[in-house]
Amino acid sequence: MDQQVQRDVRSAISTAYGLMQHTRTQHAGGMARALGGLEDRLRYIEGRLGGPDSELLGPIDLSEEIAEIKAHMSEPVAPLVDQLNALIRDVHRLERRISRLASREIASRSLLGVLPLARVIPQDVHSVVDYASGLTAAAGIFARTPEARVCSALLGASAIGVAATTDYRLSVEKVIPIEAHEVIDYAWGASAIAAPFVLGYHRKDPIAAALHVFTGALSIVTALFTDYRAAAGVGRPGWR
């Protein structure tokens, strides 16, 4: 993680601590507690940023701590208002910087300790493949047999639905953790390959069967070599 960000976190901790001491001397207990809460949270973040899991961290949200500080602005802290507002601005900038870094740096945890085999396919390319695979599999809805048509609809809808709700940049909602998406890629690929043979439409609908086998194999091969990266850190403990 960026060393400048770590220095900025340290600076915000120092400022929050100093202001907390000042507010205590002015008998502004509520503000002192609010600043103490912000300081504690920043110290926790500092520890995570400098730890071995720093690349697994998601964006941070300090809105509750900031709201608590603003709620106590009516206390006798008039001489410190400018400094408090400056601290709030610094914290907001810090949130944005860490969030930008996190969106680039949240690499997925290794699956079973070995997967993916190599991280050579960019996440955005993988995302496009997800949508394309869903559309390709869905093309089988024009097949002759009902089994092929139903399977095509299910494969297409599931692929596009998962892609649209996964925690990566090219999605509509960030709901499915990136590690869960990787597992789904393998499961979806295996299901797409097996479906024509299990349901028996590989003979009567060879084109639909070929589309499903192709997209299934593509899903598995792509998963083996994708540099899986989360956009928001969904499922990461300790980060709001």
pLDDT per position as a tens digit, 53-103:
455 456 678 999 999 999 999 888 888 999 999 999 999 998 888 876 665
For the chain, what are the domain ranges?
A: 3-105, 123-224
Could you tell me if 149 and 140 are in contact, meaning their C-beta atoms sit under 8 angstroms apart?
yes
Q: What percent of the chain has pLDDT over 70?
A: 90
Residue 95's Cβ-count burial label (10 Å; 0-12, 13-18, 19+) is: middle
Sequence-ordered list of residues with C-beta below 8 angstroms from that of 236, at least 6 positions apart, any chain: 56, 57, 58, 106, 230
Instruction: Write down the residue that tokens 């400018």 correspond to.
Output: 82
Tens of pLDDT, residue by residue over 173-186, are 999 999 999 999 99
Instruction: Write down the residue that tokens 């649209």 correspond to.
Output: 164
Would you say the pTM of this structure is higher than 0.85? no
Cα→Cα distances 120→116, 173, 221, Å: 10, 25, 12
